[in-house]
Amino acid sequence: MARSFKGKVAIIQFPGVNCEYETADAVRAVGIEADLFRWNEDPVLLEETLAVILPGGFSYQDRIRAGVVAAKDHIMDKLSRIAAQGRPVLGICNGAQVLVESGFIPGIHWESVDLALAPNVMADRDGYYCDWVFLRNEDSRCVWTGAFARKEVVPVPIAHAEGRFVTGDSGILEQMKKNGQIALRYCTDRGGIDGGFPVNPNGSVENIAGVCNPDGNVLAMMPHPERASWLRQVPEDLPGSWGRKRNQASGKFERMEEPGPGRTFFSSLLSIAGHVREKSGGQGKEAGR
Amino acid sequence: MLKGTVRITGRTDSQVLESLREKGLNLTLGEARRVCELLERDPTIVELTIFNTMWSEHCSYKSSRKILGEMLPTKAPNVVMGPGEDAGVIRFAETGDGDWHCVVIAHESHNHPSQVLPVEGAATGIGGIVRDVYCMGADVVGVLDPLRFGDPEGDNARQTMAIARGVVDGIAQYGNALGVPNLGGDVVFDRGFDENCLVNVVALGIVKESRLIRSRVPKEAAEKPYKIVLVGKPTDDSGFGGAAFASEDLAGEEETNRGAVQVPDPFLKRVLTVANRKVLDLAAERGIAIGFKDLGAGGISCVTSELADAGGFGVRIDLDMVNVAAGHFPPAVVACSETQERYALAVPGDFVDEVQRIYNVDFDLPHIYHGAGAFVIADVTVEKTYSIVSKGDVVCEAPVNVITTGIAYDRPRKSRRIFFEEPLLQEGRSLHDDSLKVLSSPNIASKNHVFRHYDSEVQGRAVIRPGEADACVIAPLPGRKTGLAVAVGGIPRYGIIDPYQGGALAICEAARNVAAVGAVPSTVTDCLNYGNPEKEEVFWEFYEGVRGIGDACRGIGLLSHEGHPLPIVSGNVSFYNQGESGNAVPPSPIIACVGVVEDYSKCRSLRFKTEGDEVYYIGQPLDELGGGEYYRVIYDTLGANVPEADFVRERNQIRTVIEMHGLGWIKACHDTSQGGLLAAIAEMIIGDGKQDGPGLVLDLDEFLPCGLSAEKVLFSETGGFLVELPPGIEREVLALCARNRVKLYRVGTLSTASKLEVISGGRRLAAWEHRIMREAFMNGCRNIFGVGKGD
Amino acid sequence: MKINVELRVRLKVADLVAQTAWMTLTEKLDFAGILQGIVRYSYWAMDADGTDGKSILDEIDRVVKLDGAFTNQNKHCYSLRGFMRPGAEMDSVRGDLILDRDFPVIAGKRGRSAGVFAWDLLIREKDGGREEGFSSRLNGRLSGVEVSAMKAGEVWRVICDSQDEKSAKRMVERMAVTRSRREGLLLNPHYQQYEFIGVTAVGGGKGSKA
């Protein structure tokens, strides 16, 4: 029985990633099929994939630099073509680090490494940091944030040691802004942009949390939307409207199982899934199962 | 005569001893002679090395086994598997099709290695404990770390802080990379740990009862040939002697222990975990019976003999088939090395190729780690003989039950007599300032700097995270209400005054912690950390601690099954926790408690929620500040009046809180123990520091019936609960408490004022703005774990 | 007097990071046959002020042996060297790592090569915030010696088969500086900087200090 990714989201399982299962669950929760693709499988399998997600974790244990070893893997040749065709590609956390080290992001010069995700710079601590942060949906062409309201505030957890977007080339930053590539910024629970820790949890330039390519189909984001895809995952004491919503759902199991703030990243795919299904003449119907 | 035979019979005691020491073996003279009796001949060096490991304290429980067996309840209706295998198993929730979701739990120490190499020691601790749970066929859903460090302001502050940071770093490096969420634990500082830290690790897993895998060769091996497949890292000598190492005093010169510490590799472990899952799923799908066990202390020899013996088979190992790292290792080292990240499977011969393909081709282990892979190293035999062949020579041959036979000692014990004294309380002290000192004490203050270093979100199951309440809660079954709560307990200073209470109170505290989120305490594990058991007073401390644990388990009982004890399903004994000075660590039984939550959506954080709600205290503050934080911080003394565990009271209080949760009354709940009532209230105002709760006026007149001074009411460490309940149900609350025969005090009404006030006789004793309390509480551990790092 | 001090620390156990670099450079990037070996060190260099060279080194040696932030002798070996002025080594060296013999060649192809050169490449973060911390940490523990101008980073000793020293250097630069998906591995120039701090001819050719 040959495996097929037709109409499905392929979750790329590099050795050492560890968020592949819950990322697949988060995709399935919006009604799109998802399956794991092991890094050394035949890339031909991905021929008709609906979208690709590079999940979080520690590919190759972050050796040398987070994401860089996976970026040199042969499977990236295939992903490069998929991304260049305009199919949606999402890198979450370690996946974002892979996309940056592959030069898919910012992708102004395709495959040229124009950014870095550098070690966190934080007040009073260093290294790995895991906490909930707030993101603001910025005006961008990104397909993965398409279902959010303009400037919507989205609480999502982060968990990383190297997540500080930085570039040595200020021209690149200007171009990214001009192209509408800054998809997500860290903000306060009310949407204010404050550069200090912990609002900006890693010292990222201009509070950048997520960057898309100029076409908007590839997104590299450090926070983990799959960990905020159900209301039950939101901490009860989180400030802001989602925290209040979570608080009010206490004791009501059915409400706790409702979507969380991160779900929208995945449901943004639905419009694409519909689009692809139309284009392929209804063959992608099973995608919704 | 077998190759490599060591002459023992006919030689003098001193000759034998000299020979043992020269070979780096820790066996006693008597033990060496016992080996000859069992084998009915002189042993080979390989055999001696095997017994050296198998009879170490770590593997054999030779000092503790008898007492544990006599004192601890291990059976209850919810227990699927008690102590004996790598981890314990309890039933958790029905699947709906006749099966059960089970919780698998294991608890161990990695104390000595963490003292020597904090990062690697702590990381390897996580690596070892998760293997114990994985090898039952379970998915690991969380780890916890109870940690005990020296005094960060004491004589050994620099080393203490370096060790504390290294340990936290090691836990983070391993657990975060493996993708297992951290579900908290606790951190306690005391000068008794200046020379020897305690690093305990707990791992929890979930598996269906029908998919549990046993650590034994399955009975099907009588019908068709079975092989033993060794999978993982190539065997080296890096951990050689590790098991024996845990049975010795920690020598002052760390040099002597080099090479005994293992090198952890969470990356390889993650890939192994994913590959194991494929193999186990495939076996289940095809209905193939397999055995599965991880390699820990004793390495290949331990795993193969136990797999074979448990199934009633023998095994013939060819050491030349073992994948070894570069270097030259004698057969005894290959057979007993503690190299990390290895498992052994017992699989039918006709399944071997597929198993090897999954590991070696699909998951490409040889490229993930140089020399790693899955290799067939042994044949299972119906004849119950354990034999090892190396380069064509038989280097070990004995009935398999001789290899696994244990050894046990009846250690003498003698109670120690130390006179403890209550401090004379000083008049006119500032309650305001003293309270802030207690709040900022590293034992009370927020462990945020530690917890934020760990990934608690991975797997997406978190409901209550470390620091949000007394226990962590996860929702491990997709779409199901059932939640899993877990917490630890064990305050070393109680055990110094009274080792019996130290054990009993550790159980009470752990059970209270899970009850505080509404979970029914359903099983506990114990890790018993003590000094040298050959010292009579140390062994007495151990005995008393175990007695306290056993009494508490029976006294609190299993609330879901009347008339049954709270069962202990897994645990570990760690002796010889002492430093150069010879002083043992404070008696430290550390308990982890698993609670079952009927509906996770009712689990609340401990932060006060709503103005106008009523705050009650369930319990009875007594003059029990001994071993507590107030005496430590303000009077630098232990005191004498350690809390006395009252199991009936604990049981009734726990039942009451769980019932209140079930009724949906509880908006916030927190147990009172370390730091007493005042610290607990402050913590409920601050929460995890993200958002302050409402304010409160605490009227001590309510507590007049206790007959205690203000300090004693506020800092008593008698166990109880603080609960926030909605207004207007006072009558029902009183009725419930009366029915359960628990004492109830009304503490106050939550207000919009951003401060906590304590009044007595209409007079204000002290008041704190939220901001002041938050700063004290949130920053108390910053010097220890933050950057800048108190140099 | 003031001397320049360099501390290098290397793992005694297998360095999995260096092994991964080796595998990535030889199997995924096209350096098989060119790359002969690769070693990784933690690196600190600083000015140190004290009474004389020997006592300065002795004091720093005492501190780094005790402080786990620099070395833990259960897993590391180290080399501590003093220089009167840049490039001029003193005759006293401390530690159990002998740098001028630390050239593990993994893949040997020496027969055909013009030379094998080992370049030492120092990589540091551009906004070296941590270097300050190391200085104050050391100064808090040293007595009679004060350190300043701390440089901290990682040194990769990259052993290359090449025509000459210069082309070996170009080769190492190509292995190191990540410009695109197919070019470079060891550093990302957007937050890291690099400098060559030494070269040794391991076989054939002729080496000199950079």
pLDDT in tens, B655-664: 999 999 999 9
The residue among B373, B335, B369 whose CA lies nearest residue B356 is B373
Is the pLDDT score of B665 beyond 90?
yes
Query: Are the Cβ atoms of C16 and B265 closer than 8 angstroms?
Result: yes
Is the pLDDT score of B517 beyond 50?
yes
pLDDT band at B363 (very low <50, low <70, confident <90, very high): very high
CA B697 – CA A211 distance, rounded (Å): 49
CA B225 – CA B228 distance, rounded (Å): 10
If you count residue pairs, one on A and one on B, with CB atoms under 8 Å apart, how many are there?
A: 138
**Cis bond before residue A106 (omega within 30° of 0):** yes
The residue among B256, B327, A62 whose CA lies nearest residue C14 is B327
| Residue B453 designated active-site | no
Query: Are the Cβ atoms of B468 and A247 closer than 8 angstroms?
Result: no
Residues 672-701 of B with CB under 8 A from A: 687-688, 690-691
Q: Give how far Cα B446 sits from Cα of A200, B450, B488, B607, B778, Å.
A: 22, 9, 16, 13, 5
| Among candidates C13, C137, C141 on the partner chain, residue whose Cβ is nearest the Cβ of B263 | C13
State chain A's maximal CA–CA distance in angstroms: 56
pLDDT band at B250 (very low <50, low <70, confident <90, very high): very low
Is the pLDDT score of B243 beyond 50?
no
Query: Are the Cβ atoms of C75 and B162 closer than 8 angstroms?
Result: no
Does B425 contact chain C (CB < 8 Å)?
Answer: no
Taking all residues of chain B, what is their mean pLDDT, rounded to a whole number?
Answer: 92
| Among candidates A63, A126, A169 on the partner chain, residue whose Cβ is nearest the Cβ of C17 | A63
CA B613 – CA C84 distance, rounded (Å): 73
The residue among B317, B643, B663 whose CA lies nearest residue B502 is B643
What is the sign of the dihedral through the CA atoms of B690, B696, B700 and B705?
A: negative
Residues 48-67 of A with CB under 8 A from B: 56-58, 60-63
End-to-end CA distance of chain C: 25
Amino acid at C94: R
pLDDT band at B417 (very low <50, low <70, confident <90, very high): confident
Structure tokens at C207: 């080496």
| Among candidates C19, C75, C133 on the partner chain, residue whose Cβ is nearest the Cβ of B117 | C75
Q: How close is the nearest chain C Cα to the Cα of B301, in Å? A: 25
pLDDT beneath 70, residues of chain C: 86-87, 89-91, 105-114, 204-210
Structure tokens at B411: 């250690």
The structure's pTM equals: 0.94
pLDDT in tens, B335-357: 998 888 999 999 999 999 999 99
Residues of C in contact with B258 (CB under 8 A): 73-74
Q: What share of chain A is helix, strand, coil (3-state, %, to 5)?
A: 35, 25, 45
β-bridge pairing B755-760 and B696-699: parallel
Residues of A in contact with C184 (CB under 8 A): 113
Which of the pair, B313 or B582, is modelled with greater confidence?
Answer: B313
Is the pLDDT score of B436 beyond 60?
yes
Q: What is the mean pLDDT of residues B399-409?
A: 87
- Residue B58 near residue B247 (C-beta atoms within 8 A): yes
CA B62 – CA B309 distance, rounded (Å): 19
pLDDT of residue A276: 53
| Among candidates B274, B452, B464 on the partner chain, residue whose Cβ is nearest the Cβ of A131 | B452
Query: Are the Cβ atoms of C178 and A113 closer than 8 angstroms?
Result: yes
Apex B665 CA angle, B660 and B666, nearest 5: 80
CA B126 – CA C145 distance, rounded (Å): 41
Query: Are the Cβ atoms of C190 and A74 closer than 8 angstroms?
Result: no
For residue B713, count other CB atoms closer than 10 A to its CB.
25
Tell me whether residue B681 is exposed, middle or buried, using C-beta atoms within 10 angstroms of its C-beta: 0 to 12, 13 to 18, 19 or more: buried
pLDDT of residue C206: 41
Residue of B nearest to A18 (CA): B179
List the alpha helices (DSSP H) in B663-716. 676-686, 710-715
| Among candidates A73, A111, A169 on the partner chain, residue whose Cβ is nearest the Cβ of C180 | A111
Does C187 contact chain A (CB < 8 Å)?
Answer: yes
pLDDT of residue A1: 54
Query: Are the Cβ atoms of C188 and A74 closer than 8 angstroms?
Result: no
Distance of CA A85 to the CA centre of its chain: 19
Tell me whether residue B307 is exposed, middle or buried, using C-beta atoms within 10 angstroms of its C-beta: 0 to 12, 13 to 18, 19 or more: buried
Above pLDDT 70, what percent of chain B? 96
- Beta pairing partners, B506: none
pLDDT in tens, B720-734: 999 999 999 999 999
CA B534 – CA B576 distance, rounded (Å): 9
For residue B635, count other CB atoms closer than 10 A to its CB.
15
Structure tokens at B372: 């790693």
End-to-end CA distance of chain A: 19
| Among candidates A157, A232, A239 on the partner chain, residue whose Cβ is nearest the Cβ of B475 | A232
pLDDT of residue C113: 57
pLDDT of residue B25: 87
Q: How close is the nearest chain B Cα to the Cα of A227, in Å? A: 5
| Residue A224 designated active-site | yes
**How many residues are there in chain A?**
289
ipTM over 0.85: yes
Q: Give how far Cα B632 sits from Cα of A212, B191, B211, B434, B582, Å.
A: 55, 11, 49, 11, 24
CA B63 – CA B54 distance, rounded (Å): 13
For residue C72, count other CB atoms closer than 10 A to its CB.
19
Query: Are the Cβ atoms of B465 and A21 closer than 8 angstroms?
Result: no
Query: Are the Cβ atoms of A238 and B785 closer than 8 angstroms?
Result: no
- Beta pairing partners, B769: B755
Query: Are the Cβ atoms of C23 and B788 closer than 8 angstroms?
Result: no
pLDDT of residue B238: 66
pLDDT beneath 70, residues of chain A: 1-2, 275-289
Distance of CA B387 to the CA centre of its chain: 35
Query: Are the Cβ atoms of C185 and A68 closer than 8 angstroms?
Result: yes
Residues of B in contact with A230 (CB under 8 A): 460
Residues of C in contact with B791 (CB under 8 A): 136-137, 140-141
| Residue A226 designated active-site | yes
Q: How close is the nearest chain A Cα to the Cα of B368, in Å? A: 8
Least confident of B12-21, B98-107, B595-604, C185-194: B12-21
Q: What is the dihedral of CA B576, B577, B579, B585, to 10 degrees?
A: -130
β-bridge pairing C115-125 and C146-162: antiparallel
- Residue A33 near residue A15 (C-beta atoms within 8 A): no
**Cis bond before residue C86 (omega within 30° of 0):** no
Query: Are the Cβ atoms of C188 and A69 closer than 8 angstroms?
Result: no
DSSP A107-143: -SSTTB---EEEEP-BTTB-S-EEEEEEEEE-S---G
Query: Are the Cβ atoms of C181 and A101 closer than 8 angstroms?
Result: yes
- Residue B549 near residue B504 (C-beta atoms within 8 A): yes
- Residue B678 near residue B686 (C-beta atoms within 8 A): no
Among A19, A33, A93, A138, the one annotated catalytic: A93
Is the pLDDT score of B248 beyond 80?
no
pLDDT band at B261 (very low <50, low <70, confident <90, very high): low
Q: What is the mean pLDDT of residues B104-114?
A: 93
Interface mutation target, options A40, A237, A265, A266, chain B, most CBs of B under 10 Å: A237
pLDDT of residue B357: 97
Contacts with B256 (C-beta within 8 Å, 6 or more apart), sequence order: none
Residue of A nearest to C130 (CA): A126
Residue of C nearest to B790 (CA): C137
